[in-house]
Amino acid sequence: MKRVMFVCKKNSARSQMAEGFAKYLGSGVIEVTSSGLEASSVRPEAIATMKEIGIDISRQTSKALKDFNAGDFDVVISLCGCGVNLPPQWLTRDIFEDWQLDDPAEQPEIFPRVRDEIRERVVKLLNILKKI
C-alpha cells in the first residue's frame, strides 16, 4: 500500500481537504496524512466546505512536516507551491508533485472551487497509484 503525504504551508486548508478526499476515496488503496511547513489549526471554512459534500474532516489535526520521516512515504504532494521550500529528501520520493493551488484562506469565497480542484487531482492520483 502506497503512503501519501500532502504538504502545504500551514496544514490548515488545502492539505487538510486533500487528506480528507484521499482517506474517503482511497480507503484500502493508500495510507495518507498531511502536514505543513509549520503546524497551525484546521480552518473552520475547510471543515464546513468538506461537510457540504459529506466528508467530515473535523477530527483531523494540523501537523508539522518536521515530525515525519521522508523515507516513510512513497508520494509527496505539495498543494501550495511550497515544494521549493521542502528539504531535498522529500522531493526524491517515488512521486513528487507540486499542484500550486490558490489559497482559499486569502479568499474564503473560493473554498468550494479549490475543494473541487483538489478532488479532481486526488482522483487522478488514486487512478495512477492503483496501476502501480
Q: Where are the domains of the chain?
A: 2-131
Active site residue 8: yes
Taking a C-beta distance cutoff of 8 angstroms, is the pair 59, 30 a contact?
Answer: no
CATH of 2-131 given 3.30.70.1140, 3.40.50.2300, 3.40.50.620, 3.30.1370.100: 3.40.50.2300
Pick the catalytic residue from 5, 8, 30, 82.
8
> How many CB atoms are located within 10 Å of the residue 62 CB?
20
In whole angstroms, give the CA distance from residue 131 to residue 86.
27
pTM of the model: 0.96
Pick the catalytic residue from 80, 114, 122, 125.
80
DSSP state of 64: B
Kindly state the average pLDDT of the residues 12-27: 97
Active site residue 80: yes
pLDDT for 106 equals 85
Q: Which residue has the higher pLDDT, 82 or 60?
A: 60
In whole angstroms, give the CA distance from residue 57 to residue 66.
22
